[in-house]
Amino acid sequence: MLIVFRLTTGCDGTKIPEDTENFSGFKYISGEEAKELFDSNDPVVLLDVRNRDEYEENHITGSILIPVDELEERLSELPDKNTTIIVYCAAGRRSAAAVDILVSNGYTNIYNMQSINNWP
């Protein structure tokens, strides 16, 4: 069973508005929940939006790398806009920017895991 939770503060300690999930079109997800979803038989993209050096140093097996500063130009590399996409970076700032790009381009099933360190 997948349980999605909503954080009340961002990585930098700022308060996240209560209606963020409904307004923005994405959900926050814990690392454990992300792994459970990724390991399921459902199609899921695990999207690493860090830079290539960070990815080569350490990444989650099965993830794809599209640095956040290249994401808008490389959206065609992602599958259907309804496919589940779990986004992560190093601390959460770039994953938040990537989520904004995805949502503004019509992607509908986005989860923000924030940091690679959240992966179990």
The answer, as to whether pTM is greater than 0.85, is: no
- DSSP collapsed to 3 states, the chain: CCCCCCCCECCCCCECCCCHHHHHCEEECCHHHHHHHHHCCCCEEEEECCCHHHHHHCCCCCCEECCHHHCHHHHHHCCCCCCEEEEEECCCHHHHHHHHHHHHCCCCCEEEEEEHHHCC
Whether the per-residue pLDDT at 4 is higher than 80: the answer is no
Task: Give the pLDDT confidence of 90-104 residue by residue, as tens digits.
Answer: 999 999 999 999 999
**Across 61-87, average pLDDT:** 97
Which domains are assigned to the chain? 22-118 (3.40.250.10)
pLDDT in tens, 104-117: 999 999 999 999 99
Joined together, the tokens standing for residue 27 give 């959900």
Give φ, ψ of 26 to 5 degrees. Answer: -145, 170
- Structure tokens of 15? 């308060």
From 49, 87, 89, 96, the catalytic residue? 89
Range scoring the smallest mean pLDDT among 13-17, 60-64, 108-112: 13-17
* Catalytic site includes residue 11: no
Q: Calculate what percentage of the chain has a pLDDT beyond 70.
A: 80
Residue 88 reports pLDDT greater than 70? yes
Q: Can you tell me the mean pLDDT for 46-64?
A: 98
Residue 20 pLDDT grade (very low, low, confident, very high; cuts 50, 70, 90): very low
